[in-house]
Chain A
């Protein structure tokens, strides 16, 4: 790695004692010698293991659940269904007033994706829990499912989630989050070139070394300690408090050392049901995802579809950009309404464009609920934007790097969401990339700056 201190030296105070120093990490020796304690290193006498009975169908009505055989299985201590969960219908972003509550801790009457949790089995061993889970009989009436976002948005499509009433999230702005800046149609009308293209991704797994999980121990005083690898301690505690209808003062969460997150551990999935199990049995409970659960049950990065229409001039200026983004939330919201909204704030990318129109949709389908992942709401958008930039440059007949200099945002430029640009550094990154990759650009671009006079 090369640290180029010559850029922006005029606005930076160097020569600090500790900051800027490559100090060895204090936690590294513990990590590399296997001495660091993770949640799963907690082991308590009498600890039970929780395994889920999961839906084999993408969309189905539950006619009946029979747990009698499972309950008789040797080693089984307790079997939980929706009836046991005090506040079974929840949504995690309710803490920041983003509703409606749309998801069940344990399925009640319906399943909306293949893999959805239906019944929880608590047993003396993992094996007993797994074997007993196989003995739970659920009678399903299979319903039509929808997997494709375009199909889901058509009239008459199967309704994925009744708590929303339609297959998209309803923002205060309507069926999508909107950004309107300038007059995009006038921009297209004046453009020398128009390019409309569509981009697509599919779900992606966080693939942490340590799978999602927790260990809960009753403290004997009506309090429960939850050792967890959540990425957000109080967010998880507060949501557990709502789901369990238990005062937050009864909950004690311990964590902070996690074997990889990447956004996959900000849903609140394992903790509430494990605490409930500990409360109802009076015993410690361990609920840890298998690798298969981590890959197919825990939320992935959403699949996205991004449609970009651009108008550009012969001289390389982009004069209009219209972006329509679709985020496949799967069956439940989790963090997806936030992610789609973050996309609306990110487009049209780090470029100054006078006419912008953005619509971002959060769409429900019958698949594993997606949620946060590194680059949430932005990563796939950047793929689409930057491939589009490459295509536009070639369409106009310009060098792709020089084309970006022409449009790059600089200090003081007004963004589509009506914030003036501050602290820009895109131009300097491109100048340095030009040198590092031996990709020469015209001298006038190498002389540019993100600073503007007076800005």
Chain B
């Protein structure tokens, strides 16, 4: 009887957005009289930080600091349609809609600034700090605060824009399955290292080293929080979770967190994350949706590591001590 060590690898990809497309999202952007920008959506923030990312996307596009942007979501009386937050689609779909709306608003803003500065709008640029200036002559500038005031009270212009993003729906061909499921894919490769106690069947995940390719890390800290959380969820799926432990038997299902097994802080592995960015052709600033993908590769990586450690294959999830011990017993019986 011994503690045995093993490691396993898995490599995966994952589509961004609703399978086969046909999932629209809209956005509206307008400025307040003093040059703050409201983004109106009906997209849902599940705790992953959708509001923050939409604010950064709008700010980058218009050319203002992020704290000048306010996100108003999700009220169906005011927010234009969004299909919903699922299928790793929020950043990609809503982000594109926000960019389109913000571009339209930016154009009006530059036109008003051009009138105030008596130059052509095409000669203007934003400095990212809240000002609009003449390209090559930054001393000739006007604040966005003043531009918004002018637009509202002097020029009678609405600094606003409409955005819509839709990937047309694809219909699978009946006989061959020819179809277009998605326009871009995130990628991952994970190596997990485990210890298996061949007396108790218990698995300890020592390290999980994840490499994720996500198109573009729009906010690296938020990317990190999502990827680390996903990696933990992958371990949880591999070793612990199910509502029906003896599926297809319906009995013994957990009804609270005492009975439904999930890892606690002490059960989580040392987690490393490396991020690569290959911008997608149609993503906002190249972003793909890594929200779901990041919880997948740990499951087979852990399964393969368990085999590497003790030489038995557990092809049924979750990989419980009971299943490992039964397999070891069968192996010993030859």
Question: Are A and B subunits of one complex?
Answer: yes
Give A contacts to B, CB under 8 Å. Answer: 1-5, 7-8, 11-12, 16-27, 31, 58, 96, 114, 147-149, 172-174, 177-181, 197-205, 207, 230-235, 237, 251-263, 266, 291-292, 295-296, 300, 303, 328, 338, 341-342, 344-346, 349-350, 358, 365, 367-368, 372, 374-380, 382-387, 389-391, 400-401, 404, 408-409, 416-419, 422-426, 428-430, 432-433, 436-437, 439, 450
Residues of B close to A1: CB separation below 8 A? 220, 223-224, 227-228, 273-275
Cα separation A401 to B244 with both chains bound (whole Å):
34
Determine whether the beta carbon of A260 is less than 8 Å from that of B9. Answer: no
Determine whether the beta carbon of B292 is less than 8 Å from that of A291. Answer: no
Determine whether the beta carbon of B76 is less than 8 Å from that of A428. Answer: no
> For chains A and B in complex, what number of residue pairs have CB atoms within 8 angstroms?
410
- Interface locus among B41-49, B116-124, B138-146, B150-158: B41-49
Give the top 9 A-B pairs by smallest Cβ distance, nearest first: A232-B84, A179-B177, A256-B74, A386-B300, A202-B247, A345-B181, A437-B191, A17-B128, A22-B221
Option from A3, A173, A350 in Cβ contact (under 8 Å) with B13 = A350
Q: Which of B255-285 contact A (CB under 8 A)?
A: 255-257, 260, 262, 272-281, 285
Determine whether the beta carbon of A436 is less than 8 Å from that of B191. Answer: yes
Give the size of the chain B interface in residues (CB under 8 angstroms): 126
Residues of B close to A26: CB separation below 8 A? 51-52, 55, 66-67
Option from A199, A259, A344 in Cβ contact (under 8 Å) with B315 = A199
Give B contacts to A, CB under 8 Å. Answer: 7-15, 19-20, 22, 42-47, 49, 51-52, 55-57, 59-60, 63, 65-67, 73-77, 79, 81-87, 128, 169, 172, 174-182, 184-185, 187-191, 193, 209, 211-213, 216-224, 227-228, 230, 233, 237, 241-245, 247-250, 253-257, 260, 262, 272-281, 285-286, 291-293, 295-297, 299-301, 303-304, 307, 313, 315-318
Residues of A close to B277: CB separation below 8 A? 3, 5, 7-8, 12
Determine whether the beta carbon of B213 is less than 8 Å from that of A425. Answer: yes
Q: 27 A–B contact pairs at CB < 8 A?
A: A1-B227, A8-B276, A12-B278, A16-B60, A18-B60, A18-B65, A23-B66, A114-B250, A178-B176, A180-B176, A201-B317, A203-B247, A232-B82, A251-B76, A252-B75, A254-B74, A256-B75, A261-B46, A300-B243, A342-B15, A345-B172, A345-B177, A349-B13, A386-B10, A408-B11, A417-B181, A433-B209
Determine whether the beta carbon of B59 is less than 8 Å from that of A383. Answer: no
Determine whether the beta carbon of B45 is less than 8 Å from that of A425. Answer: no
Determine whether the beta carbon of A374 is less than 8 Å from that of B250. Answer: no
Determine whether the beta carbon of B45 is less than 8 Å from that of A258. Answer: yes
Residues of B close to A450: CB separation below 8 A? 278
Determine whether the beta carbon of A292 is less than 8 Å from that of B255. Answer: yes
Cα separation A9 to B229 with both chains bound (whole Å):
27
Known: A1-B224, A261-B44. A341 touches B278 (CB 8 A): no
Cα separation A300 to B250 with both chains bound (whole Å):
13
Q: Which residue of A lies closest to B48 (CB)?
A: A261
A427 to chain B, nearest CB (A): 9
Determine whether the beta carbon of A20 is less than 8 Å from that of B291. Answer: no
Option from B74, B128, B172, B222 in Cβ contact (under 8 Å) with A341 = B172
Determine whether the beta carbon of A291 is less than 8 Å from that of B257. Answer: yes
Determine whether the beta carbon of B56 is less than 8 Å from that of A428. Answer: no
Q: Which residue of A lies closest to B188 (CB)?
A: A429
Determine whether the beta carbon of B87 is less than 8 Å from that of A178. Answer: no
